[in-house]
């Protein structure tokens, strides 16, 4: 079952004296995070408590966000380090888009042979490019740049779920 609430950012510091927080975005772009009107925080019971966004803007690769009820820097300081969540229904995916949370753990399958080559372990984004980190069935791990040349299709649920890829020679060399 797909998670209803997904990690979308983390407060790394305060900004100014009016209770604004600087959030590191876990979304595909900081703009995606800045457009959200409600975020959620995990409560002690494991549930999710809504927090209404008062204002948000993008500054470089960070999001400056203020929340209703947090009006001073003193009120904002305890939120440093807090991971915020969004409701998956509040984000529109592009056609063919998937949430990273839905594909971690999927089998990585050779498109031509149907052979399982590994399991998706992580998605990293150095320099704004996505790279899949795959735990190889033979041991170790390897990386696949997320481009149409290598990632042919993704089936994120049901029969045939997996990430179908076309690998080139040397790509499975372990890192």
Which string of DSSP letters, residue by residue, matches 44-100?
TTS-EEEEEEEEEEEETTEEEEEETT--SHHHHGGGTT-EEEEEGGGSPPPTT---H
Name the one residue in this structure whose structure tokens are 């031509």: 112
CATH topology of domain 100-165: SH3 type barrels. (2.30.30)
Tens digits of pLDDT across the chain (175 residues)? 789 999 999 999 999 999 999 999 998 889 999 999 999 999 999 999 999 999 999 998 899 999 999 999 999 999 999 999 999 999 998 887 889 999 999 999 999 999 999 999 999 887 778 899 999 999 999 999 999 999 999 998 888 899 999 999 888 876 6
- Rounded Cα gap, residues 14 and 76, in angstroms: 7
Question: d(Cα 81, Cα 12) in Å, to the nearest integer?
Answer: 6
Superfamily of domain 5-90, CATH level 4: RimM (2.40.30.60)
Rounded CA separation 57/17 (Å): 16
For residue 55, the cross-strand partners are 66
Domain locations along the chain: 5-90, 100-165
**What is d(CA 41, CA 84) in angstroms, rounded to the nearest whole number?**
5
pTM of the model: 0.83
Domains 5-90 and 100-165 share a fold: no
Which helix (DSSP H) or strand (DSSP E) does residue 33 occupy?
helix 30-34
């Amino acid at each position: 079952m797909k998670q209803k609430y997904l990690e979308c950012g983390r407060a790394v510091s305060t900004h100014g004296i009016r209770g604004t927080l600087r959030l590191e975005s876990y979304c595909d772009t900081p703009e995606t995070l800045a457009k959200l009107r409600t975020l959620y925080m995990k409560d002690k019971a494991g549930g999710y408590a809504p927090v209404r966004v008062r204002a948000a803007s993008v500054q470089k690769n960070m999001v400056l966000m203020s929340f209703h009820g947090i009006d001073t820097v003193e009120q904002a300081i305890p939120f440093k380090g807090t991971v915020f969540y969004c409701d998956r229904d509040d984000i529109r995916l592009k056609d063919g888009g998937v949430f990273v949370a839905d594909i971690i753990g999927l089998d990585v399958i050779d498109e031509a042979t149907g052979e399982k080559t590994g399991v998706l372990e992580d998605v990293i984004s150095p320099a704004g490019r996505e790279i899949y980190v795959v735990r190889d069935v033979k041991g170790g791990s390897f990386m696949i740049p997320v481009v149409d040349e290598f990632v042919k299709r993704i089936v994120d649920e049901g029969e045939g779920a997996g990430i179908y890829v076309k690998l080139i020679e040397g790509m499975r060399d372990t890192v």
